[in-house]
Amino acid sequence: MLLRDAVDADVPGIVDITNHAILHTTALWTETPVTNDVRQRWMDDRRARGFPVIVAAEGETILGFASYGDFRPFEGFVNTVEHSVYVRPDAQGRGLGRQLLDAVIERARAAELHVMVAGIEAQNTASIALHRRAGFVQTGLMPQVGRKFGRWLDLAFLQKNLHDT
């Protein structure tokens, strides 16, 4: 398994992982699958703005991806980013999520960013545990701010000061 910057040929694998999360989980609060074109534009925008898109690959198979982007689109938040990490269901439990998370943390530190934020559905205990092990602390909980699969969802905010060890 290799962690590397995503290339255009990785878009279909990223789309497959994203759409699985959309259709089967509450990790993404939308019910509309994405297309290759939509994800390509997303990746192009991230790269153009200096934000990484990192993949975990085994040969040409994309096992997971991670990225970060603006937390809020205002000048006062320029040193804070929000990230995402997704791993294929059949590749979970191998430590890829932690490797991808560590990779985006290191990129954010290298870019001299200050805080990384995670917005996680509050019942996603595996993701919350992953983030806590990486040094994130929960700083907020917003009850019933989202809805998917016919039920209300709570949003937990966790954050990491990138200058803490």
Quick: pLDDT tens for 19-35.
999 999 999 999 999 99
Give the model's pLDDT for residue 36. 98
Reading the block at residue 82, the tokens are 């929000």
Give the model's pLDDT for residue 162. 97
Q: pTM of the predicted model, to two decimals? A: 0.96
| Mean pLDDT computed over 55-82 | 97
* Burial annotation 106-134 (CB, 10 A radius, 16+ → b, else e): ebbeeeebebbbbbbbbebeebbebbeeb
Share of residues in the chain with pLDDT > 90 (%): 98
| Mean pLDDT computed over 45-49 | 96
Give the model's pLDDT for residue 164. 74
| Mean pLDDT computed over 75-98 | 97
CA distance 130 to 95: 10
Angle, in degrees to the nearest 10, between helices 36-48 and 11-24: 110
Given a cut of 80, is residue 42 above it in pLDDT? yes
Mean confidence (pLDDT) of the chain: 97
Quick: pLDDT tens for 115-150.
999 999 999 999 999 999 999 999 999 999 999 999
Given a cut of 70, is residue 165 above it in pLDDT? no
Domains (ranges, CATH) in the chain?
Answer: 2-114 (3.40.630.30)
